[in-house]
Amino acid sequence: MIKREHEIKAHPSTNNNKNDVKVYNNFSFTINFGDSVNLVTLFAGLYIIWKMAKKNKNKANKLN
């Protein structure tokens, strides 16, 4: 039996509950390139310093 709107309003003990569920499936993935660039620069700098130190050490050993 389907109740009409005026029948629902006539009975105060009846609850007219309406549940609206809206789902938005949005997925976002952000990459901060500033951090990765800083890390690459740091590793490149350490590599260059290591190579220079190794080169200077080899020159010092050849002079002795």
Look up tokens 């050849």; give the residue: 62
* Tokens (6 digits) for 56: 């200077």
Q: What is the mean pLDDT of residues 32-45?
A: 85
Q: What is the mean pLDDT of residues 43-49?
A: 95
Q: Which range among 1-10, 29-38, 51-60 shows the weakest confidence by mean pLDDT?
A: 1-10
This prediction's pTM: 0.43
- The answer to whether 8 and 16 have CB atoms below 8 angstroms apart is yes
Degrees (nearest 5) of the Cα angle 51, 43, 32?
160
| pLDDT the model gives residue 36 | 81
- The answer to whether 4 and 12 have CB atoms below 8 angstroms apart is no
Check pLDDT > 60 for residue 10. Answer: no
- The answer to whether 8 and 14 have CB atoms below 8 angstroms apart is yes
